[in-house]
Structure 1
Amino acid sequence: MRIKELIRDGIISCKASEPVSCAVAKMYMNNVGSVLIIDDDGKPLGIFTERDLVRVVAENLGLDIPLSKVMSRKIITANTSESIVSAAMKMIENNIRHLPVIEEGRAVGMVSIRDIVRALMAEELAYP
């Protein structure tokens, strides 16, 4: 099974100049744990996760601070043709729970560790 099969509708994103409150609102509205930070061409610049939000709150930085100041800039990604097992290994090795999916340099989706586990379980149950 390939990562492409796990991508849901679109990508949830904010611009780097927008405040943390933008990411928090989108995470809440879409029931997700991360938001991709993109440029005007849709290319990923960073990611803002629940862990980043905890740091913002703990350091009392406020929700008006631009995402560019608090986003994680090191982005680990997968491509659409990558296997689910390969993506899972990246997530384990880098201790991350959200993996942006890239195609031709642009973000096309995001998969979570939950998506990966569900897919692997479904595969295992289908072929015991």
Structure 2
Amino acid sequence: MTNGKTTTIADVMTKSVISVDASITVNEAAKMMEDAKVGAVIVMENNSPVGIVTDRDFSVKVVAHAYQITEPVKQIMSSPLFSINSDEPIRIAADLMHDRGIRKLPVIDNGKVVGIVTATDIVNLLAVSVEEDMRDMYFHSVAKIYTNYSPYN
């Protein structure tokens, strides 16, 4: 079992992250995401993370706005890139996700992408928590992340 008050981003993040150069095409990025079975890639320029492309970017920007699949992925990335350090408490990630309306958050230490934490990671943390921590995390973190999706708001 985990302790919700001391759990850090490093404890729950996914360490394998795919990064792509900003110049690759939208189609190439989509194929990479499909092959790797991931919902996001980090976009890099000059070895620095500058944006993120999520599966939602494809539906909203490519399909709804009719971007060509031959466009550079930089055209559809979400930027500026919001990120977090691996030693931060999970609550900080939940707050940032809520405040920015995002569900995937790159983890960057010393300018290097070391992982990604998602809303699903936070929900999965609840499954291995003691009841008191679970209640605490739910009311502080999960409720904030999913507040916009609740039929009760």
Q: What TM-score do the two structures reach when normalised by structure 2?
A: 0.75
Deviation at 1:127, TM superposition (A): 5.6
| 2:103 pairs with 1:93 | no
Deviation at 1:24, TM superposition (A): 0.9
In the alignment, structure 1 segments of 5+ residues that lack a partner are: none
Greater CA drift, 75-84 or 5-14: 5-14
Q: Is the 8 Å Cα contact of residues 14 and 22 (structure 1) preserved in structure 2?
A: no
Q: Which of these residues, 67, 75, 78, is aligned with residue 73 of structure 2? A: 67
Aligned residues: 127
Q: Secondary structure at the match of 1:117?
A: helix
Q: Secondary structure at the match of 2:79?
A: coil
Deviation at 1:125, TM superposition (A): 4.8
Q: Is the 8 Å Cα contact of residues 13 and 37 (structure 1) preserved in structure 2?
A: yes
- Gap change, CA 1:7 and 1:77, over 3 Å in 2: same
Q: Which residue identity does 1:88 align to in structure 2? A: A
> In the alignment, which residue of structure 2 is the partner of 1:116?
122
- Gap change, CA 1:127 and 1:24, over 3 Å in 2: same
Q: Which of these residues, 12, 18, 25, is aligned with residue 24 of structure 2? A: 18
CA–CA separation in structure 2 for the residues paired with 1:17 and 1:51 = 20
Aligned residue runs from structure 1 range 14-53, under 5 A: 14-41=20-47, 43-53=48-58
1:50-73, Cα deviation, whole Å (9 max, x unpaired): 221112112221211101122111
Q: Secondary structure at the match of 1:80?
A: coil
In the alignment, structure 2 segments of 5+ residues that lack a partner are: 1-6, 135-153
Q: Which residue identity does 1:48 align to in structure 2? A: V
Greater CA drift, 118-127 or 89-98: 118-127
1:30-78, Cα deviation, whole Å (9 max, x unpaired): 222211101242x211111122111211222121110112211121111
CA–CA separation in structure 2 for the residues paired with 1:10 and 1:58 = 30
> In the alignment, which residue of structure 1 is the partner of 2:141?
none
Q: Secondary structure at the match of 1:111?
A: strand
The percent identity for this pair of structures is 34
Rg (Cα) greater in structure: 2
Moved >3 Å (runs of 4+): 124-128
